[in-house]
Chains A and B, each alone.
Chain A
Amino acid sequence: MTTLWVLLPLLAALLAAPASALAGYLRPSLAAPVGATLAALAFGASLWGWGMGGGVIDVAWAPTWEIRFAVAFDGLAALYALLATGIGFAVLVYSSRYLPLHLGHEGRPESDGVGFYFFILLFMGSMVGLAMAQDLILIFVFWDLTAIASYYLIGFDRHDPDARASALMALLVTGVTAVLLLIGALMLHAAYGTFSVPELARMVEPGPLLTVSGLLIAVAGLAKSAQAPLHFWLPRAMAAPTPVSAYLHSAAMVAAGVLLIGRVYPLLQKSEVLLDSFLLFGAASVIVGGFLALTRDVLKQLLAYSTISQYGYVVYMFGLGGKYGVAGASFYVIAHALSKSALFLTAGAVTEATGEDRLSRLGGLRKRMPVLAAASGAAAAGLGAVPLTIGFFKDELLFGAALERGPALAALAVLWAALTLAYIWRFWSGIFLGAPGEGTHGERQLPAALVAPVVVLGALVLVGGILVGPFEALAEAAGKASFASPTPVEPAYHLDARPENLMALAAYGLGALIVLSWPAWSRSALGVSRLGERVGPERIYDLTLRGLNRLSDWAHWAEVRDLRSRVAAILLPAGVLVGAGVLATPSAGAYRVGELRAGEAPLLLALAAAAVASLAATRTRPHVTLALVLSGAGFMLAVVYAFFGAPDVALVAVLVETILTLLFVATLKLIPYEVLHRQAELPLQRPRRKALISLVAAAFAFAVVWGALSQPAAEESVARKLLRLTPEAHAKDAVTAILADFRGLDTLGEITVVALVLLGVATLLGRGGTR
């Protein structure tokens, strides 16, 4: 318990959301500062926690299910907690200025911002929790918390149909795939009896179980990291306000996916199939994302596809494996987070200042916004892996890891690096260089709070390019947690002709080539991307959703038209069910005809009469006759009861039958004769079908009844006891004794039903009569 401080970052991060909401409830303008303060605190606590060397807390949470609240502050947790809280802080500062402007444009009150801060802080808290969680169920809980937070943030502009559809899409894609994570976790638990990741890592053996469960978990991670083919929700998520996008792409939602992969990597890396599938998905995402990023015109769209591609690298590096791959993946996440958040914030600032969000209508802003241009230039250079930025090392590690797996993969890596360079150049130069675009005539000034976070992040990108030590240490610590052994990678500048350097140079050259030749093939690239729109996964999603709605409409219509209020719809399956049961079990000796004792002829006769009377009712048309047949059938039954040695029942049956007939006739009297007559004159509809259904129902009853009666009466019986005890209840009639004493509770219930009916009829008629 001495390591309770491990909880400090988590507590600070989780408390931030409610604290900010509370402050915002008191005064809306307080929400942002309180949230930012707590984010800074959580960042500080995370730094401190990392400095203290980590620790573990493991307490029972739901012992019945062996779920534990197990959190650890290891390298991986430190990396993502620092990202979530650090970039979270920057984003909050940015939002404090951005959001009032945004709400102003939308004509919404300032108090609407409170929810925004709540969810973005919830996002941060759940990311920290996810980073620290060691129990698969706990991971699932935090995992879905991030989905909830992102759902509300993407749907923040809820009056906008596009925002709503995008939020739904993000929730469906990430929420439904999260279920796969759960299934994978439960499979592992079923096999190994624990949800704890470290324990599982020790116990799991390669095999089909690991492959399947690992794949399920990996799919959840890949969907969250927006990897092809489940990438389509991410560009749509741009419907969120810009700070959300910045956060979502760099340190939260999308990072959660690779965080999960990093967390369960000790398990996953035991299976070659899984590693190879990472290569596949990663490569597909790099290509799809990078290619589409080249073709986008809307700033945030371009960045969104860039994120898909960049996380493709990370996944790819996990697939490459080895110390370079694993530590490199972590390093890549850091470098990307710093650059990408800065670029998103840039995009938001530019749009805020000019009101324009398309590259084709922007340009030449370097003079108006020199600081922003420089800071975002640094960030872009970082993404493009230019020397003296942190990004250089991320590509160095990528190349190093790829080289370990042979020249083909290395060549691919070069191509992709070139692609990145090309689209990020397009982004930055399109905004800041060239002639002023037609959309840049606005004169709005940029508030400092919108620029400062970009400057800080851009500066960090440069610092990392010179002083790579702390970032390297963080990445190695995270790599160690994933790889389960130390991963020294030593990124550094080497002024020699080693393969990594040559590959970097090749990438720059190729990138320049793509940029220069772009005008020549932009049109065909657009054609290809449009083809992707037509047949791509997003289209499939749309069609599925719409198809489901249509199918649902159709099924509903069919049900309302044909089934609702049809008693037959219930009787038929019931009959079939009983029939199937009877047919499926051995029936030898199950049914007896039963002997006919002397003197039972009257009983038989009465039974026949009751049955015939009931059958007659089906052919009776006029209502009054029906009432007579009803009472006739009832009286016949009373006779039957008498012959069964049940005079009490017979008497009551006569009484009840009489009252019922009277009630029936009274109801007939309340309804005008014409209505009844018209009804009685109506021809029977589909009499054959109804008769058939009745036959099925009768067969159902027959099977149950005959089957039961054919059984010899139970030898031991409570009835005998009751009969013996009757004198003790001070009664002569055993039936009375049972009703009044032994089973008085039943009688009380019966009286209650009568009372209820009286109550009900009184209200029904009272209300019905008022019309």
Chain B
Amino acid sequence: MILAVSLAISAIFGSGVFLLLQRDLLRVVVGIVFVSNSAILFIIAAGLSRGDAPIYPLPEGGLLDAGTSDPLVQAMALTAIVISFSTAALLLGLVYRLYAAHRTVDVEDISEAETREAEALEREEEPEREEEPEGKPAEVELEEETR
């Protein structure tokens, strides 16, 4: 069972990562959702006991591991689910914002546009870079002297 759960978690994590690597922003968001899912599944699996729902009245000898599931991991999982859902929603908002700015959802296209702009910026500011000493003054002096 342990192995099976671990495999499932890493499979979900791996597919999430695969989506994260795509150039399509929407797929990236799905990737983040998957990655979060894997973490939540892990939280649940990390419970110290597994059994019935931890709701009173508890089964016979219910306080102990055998009968009841660990309630704490469930609470943690709930918190994590809500948080990851919210952040996914925020990411969707960002995707839309990016689309609105660039008219594309392709991260490569967007990055190309930005790189072009950055290069233009660096070219523009080139004259500022005179801080490198050119070592000229002394040489110039010598040449004039020998003349």
A residues sitting closer than 8 Å to B (CB atoms) are 161-162, 164-166, 168-169, 235-236, 297-298, 301, 360, 523, 526, 529-530, 533, 538-539, 541-542, 545-546, 549, 560-561, 564-565, 567-568, 571, 592-597, 600, 604, 607-608, 610-611, 614-615, 617-618, 623, 626, 630, 633-634, 637, 640-641, 644-649, 652-653, 656, 659-660, 663-664, 667-668, 670-671, 675-676, 679-680, 682, 684-685, 690-691, 693-695, 697-699, 701-702, 705-706, 708-710, 713-714, 717-720, 722-724, 726-727, 731-735, 737-739, 743, 746-747, 749-750, 753-754, 756-757, 760-761, 764-765, 767-769, 771
Q: A611-B12, A641-B44, A719-B48 are in contact. Are A567 and B20 (CB under 8 A)?
A: yes
Q: Looking at the complex, which one of A529, A698, A768 makes contact with B97 (CB distance below 8 Å)?
A: A768
B97–A594 touching, CB < 8 Å: no
Contacts of A702 in B (CB 8 A): 6-7, 9-10
Contact in complex: A671, B105 (CB < 8 Å): yes
Cβ of A699: which chain B residues have Cβ within 8 Å of it? 10
Query: A675-B105, A719-B70, A768-B101 in contact; A705/B42 too (CB < 8 A)?
Result: yes
Q: For the complex, what is the distance from the CA of A162 to the CA of B134, rounded to whole Å?
A: 9
Bound Cα distance from A618 to B15, whole angstroms: 6
State whether A660 and B26 are in contact (beta carbons under 8 Å apart), knowing that A694-B15, A697-B17, A735-B75 are contacts in the complex.
Answer: no
Please tell me if the beta carbons of B37 and A634 are within 8 angstroms of each other in the complex.
Answer: yes
Give Cα A338–Cα B40 distance, bound, in whole angstroms: 79
Q: Which B residues are CB-close (under 8 A) to A698?
A: 10-11, 13-14, 17
Q: What are the residues of chain B within 8 A of A701 when measuring CB–CB?
A: 9-10, 13-14, 38
Residues of B within 8 A of A615 (CB): 11, 15
Contact of B93 with A617 in the complex, beta carbons under 8 Å: no
Q: Compute how far the CA of A718 lies from the CA of B71 in the bound complex, rounded to whole angstroms.
A: 10
Chain B residues with Cβ under 8 A from A162's Cβ?
A: 137
Given A630-B30, A664-B92, A709-B5: A614 in contact with B78 (beta carbons within 8 A): no
Residues in A whose Cβ lies below 8 Å from that of B83:
750, 753
Identify the closest chain B residue to A712 (Cβ).
B48
Q: For the complex, would chain B's binding face be called helix, strand, loop or mixed by DSSP majority?
A: helix
Report which of B5, B89, B100, B104 forms a contact with A768, defined as CB distance below 8 A. Answer: B100
Which residue of chain A has its CB nearest to the CB of B41?
A637
Which of chain A's residues have a CB closer than 8 A to the CB of B104?
Answer: 675, 679
Among A604, A614, A684, A731, contact of B34 (Cβ-Cβ < 8 Å)? A614
Give bound CA distance, A660 to B101, whole Å. 24
CA distance A298 to B144 in the complex (A): 11
Q: Are B48 and A713 in contact (CB under 8 A)?
A: yes
Q: Chain B's nearest CB lies how many Å from the CB of A590? A: 12
Instruction: Report B39 CB to chain A, min CB distance, Å.
Output: 9
Docked Cα-Cα span, A533 to B137, in Å, equals 11
| Inter-subunit contact B8/A608 (CB<8 Å) | yes
- The residue that B81 contacts in the complex, of A560, A610, A653, with Cβ under 8 A, is A653
Q: Find A644's partner among B15, B58, B69, B111 (CB 8 Å cutoff).
A: B69
B125 within 8 A of A: no
B132: which A residues are within 8 A, CB to CB?
165, 542, 545-546, 549
A618 touching B72 by the CB < 8 A rule? no
- Are A733 and B14 interface neighbours, CB within 8 A? no
Known contacts A538-B138, A604-B4, A723-B71; is-contact A709 B45 (Cβ 8 Å): yes
Q: Which residues of B contact A633 (CB under 8 A)?
A: 12, 34, 37
9 residue pairs of the A-B complex, CB under 8 angstroms, read A165-B131, A549-B132, A611-B11, A618-B18, A645-B51, A648-B78, A698-B11, A705-B10, A739-B78
Contact B142 A529 (CB under 8 A): yes
Closest Cβ of chain A: how far from B40's Cβ, in Å?
7
CB-based contact A648/B74 at 8 Å: yes
From known contacts A595-B1, A757-B87, infer whether A645 and B53 are also in contact, taking CB-CB under 8 Å: yes
Does B3 reach chain A (CB closer than 8 Å)?
Answer: yes
Q: Are A533 and B92 in contact (CB under 8 A)?
A: no
Contacts of A526 in B (CB 8 A): 142, 145-146
* Given A600-B1, A664-B26, 8 additional A-B pairs, CB 8 A: A626-B26, A634-B37, A640-B44, A645-B54, A648-B74, A649-B78, A706-B2, A735-B55
Q: Tell me if A760 and B93 are in contact (CB < 8 A).
A: yes
Q: Which residues of B contact A660 (CB under 8 A)?
A: 33, 85, 88-89
How many angstroms between the C-alpha atoms of A645 and B45 in the bound complex?
11
Partner of A722, one of B71, B133, B146: B71
A-B pairs under 8 A by CB, number: 337
5 nearest interchain CB pairs? A698-B14, A594-B2, A645-B69, A165-B133, A734-B71
B60 close to chain A: CB less than 8 A: no
- Contact-residue size bin, chain B (C-beta under 8 Å from the other chain): 35 or more
A746 touches B17 (CB 8 A): no
A533 near B138 (CB under 8 angstroms)? yes
Kindly report which residue of chain B lies nearest to residue A666, judged by CB atoms. B92
A750 near B72 with CB under 8 A, answer no
Chain B contacts for A571, CB-based, 8 A? 17
**A489 to chain B: closest CB distance in Å?**
39
Contact at A164–B131, with CB atoms within 8 Å? yes
Min distance, Cβ A436 to any Cβ of chain B, angstroms? 20
Least CB distance, B134 to chain A, in whole angstroms: 8
B contact residues around A679 at 8 Å (CB):
24, 26, 104-106
Known: A644-B44, A649-B77. A659 touches B85 (CB 8 A): yes
B113 at the interface (CB under 8 A from A): no
Q: Which residue, B40, B46, B69, B94, has most C-beta atoms of chain A within 10 A?
A: B69
A594 to B2, CA, bound (A): 5
Please tell me if the beta carbons of B47 and A675 are within 8 angstroms of each other in the complex.
no
Provide the bound-state CA to CA distance between A713 and B49, in Å. 8
List residues of B (57-84) whose CB comes within 8 Å of A's CBs: 57-58, 62-65, 68-79, 81-83
The 8 A CB mask of B95-124 against A (1 = contact, 0 = none) is 111011101111100010001001000000
| One of B15, B24, B71, B131 near A719 (C-beta < 8 A) | B71
Neighbour of A530 across the interface among B15, B94, B95, B142, CB < 8 A: B142
Q: Once bound together, how far apart are the Cα atoms of A546 and B134, in whole Å? A: 9
Q: With A162-B137, A608-B8 in contact, do A717 and B2 touch (Cβ < 8 Å)? A: no
| Complex Cα–Cα for A67 and B30 (A) | 57
CA distance in complex: A757, B88 (Å): 9
- Nearest-neighbor residue (CB-CB) of B57 within chain A: A732
- State whether B92 touches A663 (Cβ < 8 A): yes
Set B21, B115, B138: member contacting A693, Cβ < 8 A: B21
From B1, B58, B82, contact of A750 by CB (8 A) = B82
Option from B9, B53, B56, B89 in Cβ contact (under 8 Å) with A646: B53
B30 to chain A, nearest CB (A): 5
B90 near A649: Cβ-Cβ < 8 Å: no
Which residues of B are found within 8 Å of A640, using beta-carbon distances?
41, 44
**Which of these, B16, B24, B27, B71, contacts A614 with CB under 8 Å?**
B16
Q: In the bound complex, do residue B49 and residue A611 qualify as a contact, i.e. CB atoms below 8 Å apart?
A: no
Chain A residues with Cβ below 8 Å from B76 are: 746
Contact B37 A614 (CB under 8 A): yes
**Residues of the A chain whose Cβ atoms lie less than 8 Å from the Cβ of B47:** 644, 713, 719
A653 cross-chain contacts in B, Cβ below 8 A: 40, 81
Does A694 lie within 8 Å of B137, measured CB to CB?
Answer: no
Question: Which of A169, A565, A726 is in CB contact (< 8 Å) with B133?
Answer: A169
Contact A732 B56, beta carbon cutoff 8 Å: yes
Contact between A646 and B44 (Cβ–Cβ < 8 Å)?
A: yes
Closest to A751 in B: B82
Instruction: Please name all residues of chain A whose beta carbon is closer than 8 Å to the beta carbon of B72 when the two chains form the complex.
Output: 718-719, 722, 738
Bound together, the chains give a CA A717 to CA B5 distance in angstroms of 22
B86 contacts which chain A residues (CB < 8 A)?
753-754, 756-757
Q: Which of B10, B23, B40, B130 has the most CB of A within 10 A?
A: B10
Q: Which residues of the other chain, A, contact B77 by a CB distance below 8 angstroms?
A: 641, 646, 649
Cβ-defined partner of B96 (8 Å) among A235, A670, A732: A670
Knowing A644-B45, A710-B2 are in contact, say whether A753-B12 is a contact too (CB < 8 A): no
Q: How far is it, in angstroms, between the C-alpha of A717 and the C-alpha of B54 when the chains are bound?
A: 15
Q: A693-B17, A726-B56, A753-B82 are in contact. Are A667 and B10 (CB under 8 A)?
A: no
Q: Residues of A contacting B33 with CB < 8 Å? A: 630, 634, 660
